[in-house]
Structure 1
Amino acid sequence: MSDVDGLSSDLTVYAARLVRLVRREHAPSAGIRVLSILDELGPLAITALAQVDRCSQPTMTGQVNQLVEVGWVTKQPNPADARSSLVDLTPAGRAELGRIRRLSAALVSERLARRTDLTADDLATAVAVLRAVLEPPSEGNS
């Protein structure tokens, strides 16, 4: 296995472990995952949300209905398909997502503060690598 393959594997493993750590510490609901998807991808139909989240359509319908009840998302008619609705974040949903993200950031910041061997530059490099891996390549950067 090449160094790049091994490091790529490590990156995947440790990124997943970080996500699980954050979830264990303040146990956000499955609904937060839906809010994150909508924040990343914009308004989506329930079927598309279910596909992205890798769950069944009935499961996603239940999650969306709960999020509508608490005021974190809306369901509007889908202009591209009259048989479906588009789910979108509300300002309250964005605020809740922001609150959860601040809790996550505080947890990571607290752990980083205990690591005097790591610098802000190290963190900036880690963020830059993750961002580059997650963003689609731009023209000429394939």
Structure 2
Amino acid sequence: MTEADLAGDLVVHAARLVRAVRRDLELPAGTRILSLLDEHGPLGVTTLADLDRSSQPTMSGAVAQLVELGWVTKSPNPADARGALVALTDVGRTGLRRIRRSIGDHVAALVADHPRLTTEDLGTAVAVLEALVSTSLEKGTS
């Protein structure tokens, strides 16, 4: 296999793992939005939609649900009087930490149950993904 083949497989399998974990844990629909806000800070609905690759009306509905749950707030956007800024609340941060802990516990159990994988293998996988994401962010390609 070439480096490009392996790199492609890495992305495919990482995405499949994410989908499998979402399915197994039945994660709340707004988890990705909470993660985006945690990563980028307060954002406008249109920017959130762009980052999520969803439509603005779809994002508006999802944000409204998260506001109802108390996980995010919407406030006037000082940079755009027509728009609103969406921000994580303390309740949202706590919820996201709980979700991430359950994901971690689930994946750790998958590794522990696998006959050939070790904690060291998991550490290597994390280091590779972390370095690639960091490099991508430095280049502005996230």
TM-score normalised by length of structure 2: 0.90
CA distance in 1, matches of 2:8, 2:77: 40
Secondary structure class of the residue paired with 2:38: helix
Match status 1:7 vs 2:16:
no
CA distance in 1, matches of 2:119, 2:107: 13
List alignment gaps of at least 5 residues for structure 1: none
CA distance in 2, matches of 1:104, 1:63: 21
* Structure 2 equivalent of residue 17 of structure 1: 16
The equivalences for 1:1-142 within 5 A come to: 3-136=2-135
Secondary structure class of the residue paired with 1:77: strand
Query: Aligned-residue CA RMSD in angstroms?
Result: 1.6
Task: Name the stretch that deviates more: 114-123 or 93-102.
Answer: 114-123
Shift of 1:118: 2.4
CA distance in 2, matches of 1:32, 1:118: 28
Kept after mapping to 1: 8 A contact 2:72/2:88? yes
Figure out how many residues of one structure are paired with residues of the other and give that number.
138
Query: Which consecutive aligned stretches of 4+ in structure 1 deviate over 4 angstroms post-superposition?
Result: none
CA distance in 1, matches of 2:16, 2:97: 21
CA distance in 2, matches of 1:110, 1:136: 29
Secondary structure class of the residue paired with 1:118: coil
CA distance in 1, matches of 2:125, 2:25: 23
Kept after mapping to 1: 8 A contact 2:72/2:89? yes
TM-score normalised by length of structure 1: 0.90
Identical counterparts, % of pairs = 55
CA distance in 2, matches of 1:115, 1:25: 17
Secondary structure class of the residue paired with 2:30: helix
CA distance in 2, matches of 1:90, 1:24: 26
